Amino acid sequence: MRSANHPHRRFAPGRLWPRECLLCQQTTGEAFFCPACRRELPRADPDGPCAGEQRARRQAPPWRQAWIPWRYAWPIDRLVIGIKFARRLAWARALGELLAEEIPAADSDLVVPVPLHPARLAVRGFNQAQEIALPVARRLALPLSPEAARRWRATRPQSTLSAAERQLNAAGAFRVNRAAIEGRRVLLVDDVVTTGATAASLASAVSAAGAVEVTLAAVARA
């Protein structure tokens, strides 16, 4: 183990090793990202694809508000891909911590990650939305309820479909535990939103199960 007096390392109080920025690898007192790299993260257009898709369908979105702070561009895209396909679960914690800073805690009672179908979960071994939702729930001091919703119908990968096909693919894909949802303000958490079809399907199911309000949070818009 390196000594705490190593001349080229600065150790944060109460830690056995320095916290390094995931992007530039410089030692930082910040969580996961140094201030300079955080400023370079690609901020999303607030009038992005999710809003545009809802206008195209001439429907109000099935959530009160959506918090999607970044674009699915470098380096956010590399981090999400690393989580999903290289099991970089610490990166999910990093993105979840960042996302939590963007969300008002007082607006929700319960955090629900967007579920994977059991078959896909068995192959991947984890749900990336749940891994991101863990630090969100912890930072906001809200209960996390992954069992509140399940994806009962296996759907085709959304990335292979057109916008119209995504809507049909996601429709009716979720079942919700009314006892966990009814009368509560629910915060849905996902990794990436493209057209919003998956999020809309789940939000509609959650509302139908008696949620008084639904908020959507995701790391990035694609």
Residues 119-159 have pLDDT tens digits of 999 999 999 999 999 999 999 999 999 999 999 866 655 55
Specify the CATH number of the domain 42-221.
Answer: 3.40.50.2020
Query: Quick one: pLDDT band at residue 51, thresholds 50, 70, 90?
Result: very low
Pair 175, 202: CB distance under 8 Å? no
**pLDDT score, position 185:** 98
Query: What pairs with residue 27 in β-bridges?
Result: 20
**pTM passes above 0.75:** yes
Reduce the DSSP state of residue 222 to 3 states and report it: coil
With 70 as the cut, is the pLDDT of residue 96 above it?
yes
In whole angstroms, give the CA distance from residue 217 to residue 220: 9
What lies within 8 Å, CB to CB, of 22 at 6+ separation is 32, 33, 37, 79, 91, 94
In this predicted model, what pLDDT tens digit does every residue of 5-50 receive, in sequence order?
A: 333 333 233 344 457 899 998 887 767 899 999 999 999 986 654 5
What's the pLDDT at 80? 97
pLDDT of 163 reads: 61
Q: Please, what sign has the CA dihedral across residues 46, 49, 52, 53?
A: negative
Q: List the chain domain ranges.
A: 1-40, 42-221
CA-to-CA distance for 202 and 191, rounded, in angstroms? 14
